[in-house]
C-alpha cells in the first residue's frame, strides 16, 4: 500500500497506478452507483466544459490510472475512512482524485 510520504515523491512526474484487488472489486460491485454519480457529475458546468475541451463525453471516459501527479494531501471533508484511518488522496492532472488506500503501486513512466 502507498503512504502519503511515498506518494509525495511523485509530484510532477507522470505515473501509472496499479489498484488494489479490493478497490477493483468494490468498483465493479458499485458500478451502477458509479454510473449514476458520473451522470450527476456530467451536469456540473465546470466538468462539462472541461470534458468538451478535452474531447471526452463523460467522466467514465477518463483514465484514472495514469497522469501527472499534481498534489498529494489529506481530505479535509472526511476525518477518517472506513478503516478508521485518515483519508489521504493523490491528485492526477489537476482533476482526478484517488484514495491512497486504493493504490497498490505507483509506477513512474516517461
The closest of 101, 78, 76 to 90, measured between CA atoms, is: 101
Any idea which of 8-17, 31-40, 57-66, 101-110 has the lowest mean pLDDT? 57-66
pTM assigned to the model = 0.49
Beta-strand ranges (E) seen in the chain are: 14-19, 66-74, 88-92, 96-99, 103-108
Q: Which residues contact 105 (CB under 8 A, 6 or more apart)?
A: 2, 17, 18
Higher pLDDT, 67 or 47: 67
Specify the pLDDT at position 103: 86
Report the pLDDT averaged over residues 14-37.
Answer: 81
Specify the pLDDT at position 104: 86
Amino acid at each position: 500500500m502507498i503512504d502519503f510520504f511515498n506518494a509525495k515523491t511523485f509530484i510532477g512526474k507522470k505515473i501509472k497506478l496499479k489498484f488494489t484487488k479490493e478497490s477493483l472489486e468494490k468498483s465493479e460491485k458499485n458500478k451502477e452507483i458509479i454510473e449514476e454519480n458520473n451522470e450527476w457529475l456530467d451536469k456540473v458546468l465546470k466538468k462539462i466544459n472541461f470534458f468538451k475541451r478535452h474531447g471526452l463525453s463523460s467522466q467514465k471516459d477518463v483514465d484514472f490510472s495514469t497522469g501527472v501527479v499534481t498534489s498529494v494531501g489529506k481530505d479535509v471533508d472526511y476525518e477518517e475512512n472506513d478503516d478508521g484511518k485518515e483519508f489521504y488522496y493523490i491528485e492526477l492532472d489537476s482533476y482526478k482524485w484517488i484514495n491512497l488506500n486504493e493504490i497498490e503501486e505507483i509506477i513512474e513512466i516517461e
